[in-house]
Amino acid sequence: MSIFRFTLSFFFPLLFSLVFTAKAVQASEVVHMGAVIFPPSSEIDKKTNQCVGSSIDVTKHILKQYDIELEVTCASAIRIYKLVENGDIDLTINVKSTSALTDNVIFMQPAYGLLKIGLYERITEKPQKVISVIRGFGYAGFRDIYASNGFEFIDLPNSISVLRVFERHRSDYMLAYERPVKHFVEQGLVTLGDDVKVTPLFETNNYFAIAKKSPKKELLIKVLEDYAKKNNGRMFSELAGLGLE
C-alpha cells in the first residue's frame, strides 16, 4: 500500500469521526423551559399534548440562533415554581413580583413583554366580595390589597377555570391578565356579558427568569445578553421578529 493511499484511508475516517463528534456535542445542548399555562403565550395542545404558544415559539427562535434545543414543560404556576426551586428546569417567564420565584431565579434584562392586569366586576345590587384568581398568582400585589379589604378568594389552577367560575356567577369579581381573557373570549370559549365592568389596575413587564440551580445558568445568561445586545435591547417578545406578542 502506498503512503498516499494509507494517508487517505487513515485521514478521512478520522475527519468524519471528528465532524460527527462535533455535531453530536452541538446537538446535545438542550435547555428545559417551564411555562405556566397562560394562553395564548403557553398552553397544552389538546391534540398533540405538546406545550405550544407564542412564548414557546419566541424562546425556540432565540435559542436556535445558538444551536440550542428547547424542551418545554407546561404546568400550573405552583408546579413551575417548585421545579424552579429544585433546579429541575432551566428557565421560565414571569413577573418580578412573584414572591415564590424571587430568591430562586435571575431575571434577565430587557423585559420579555408587557402584561395588563384588570379587575372584572359583575354589576349587581349586592355584589359578594369573592374574587376568582389563579392559584399562586400575586397579580403585582393586588391579591394582598384585596385580601386586606376583606375579599375572599376562589383559587383555581388556570385562567380558563377562573373565567368560567366568574362567567357562571360563582364569584362577582375576577382578577385577570388581559391577554388570556381576550384570547378565550375571541375563541368563543367564554362570554362576558354587558353586566361586566372592567377596571384597569396595573401594567407590568414579565421577564426571562433563569433558575439559579440550573447547570445551564451561565450559558443562558450569555445567550440572552448577547441576543439582546444584537437587537438593541428591545423586549424579547418584539425582537424575535415573529409578530407573536
Whole-number percent of the chain with pLDDT over 70: 86
| Res 238: pLDDT | 85
| Res 231: pLDDT | 87
- 9-113+206-239 to CATH, choices 3.40.640.10, 3.40.190.10, 3.30.565.10, 3.90.1150.10: 3.40.190.10
The yes-or-no verdict on residue 46 having pLDDT over 80 is yes
The yes-or-no verdict on residue 18 having pLDDT over 50 is no
**Dihedral over Cα of 69, 74, 76, 77: its sign:** positive
| Res 6: pLDDT | 45
| Res 1: pLDDT | 52
The yes-or-no verdict on residue 122 having pLDDT over 90 is yes
Instruction: Write the CA distances from 61 to 26, 27, 224, 226, 236, integer angstroms.
Output: 17, 16, 12, 14, 11
The yes-or-no verdict on residue 223 having pLDDT over 90 is yes
Model confidence over 157-171: pLDDT tens digits? 999 999 999 999 999
Q: Which residue spans of the chain are classified as CATH 3.40.190.10?
A: 9-113+206-239, 115-204
The yes-or-no verdict on residue 216 having pLDDT over 90 is yes
- pTM reported for the whole predicted model: 0.82
- Tell me the residue ranges of DSSP E strands in the chain: 30-36, 43-44, 51-52, 69-75, 91-95, 105-107, 113-122, 130-134, 152-156, 173-177, 196-211
| Res 128: pLDDT | 95
Q: Closest Cα partner for 146 from 173, 117, 116, 178?
A: 173
Q: What angle do CA 32, 205, 227 make, to 5 degrees?
A: 55
The yes-or-no verdict on residue 52 having pLDDT over 90 is yes
Q: How confident is the model at residue 27 (pLDDT cuts 50, 70, 90)?
A: low
Domain 115-204, second-level architecture? 3-Layer(aba) Sandwich (3.40)
Instruction: Write the CA distances from 119 to 5, 125, 220, integer angstroms.
Output: 78, 18, 36
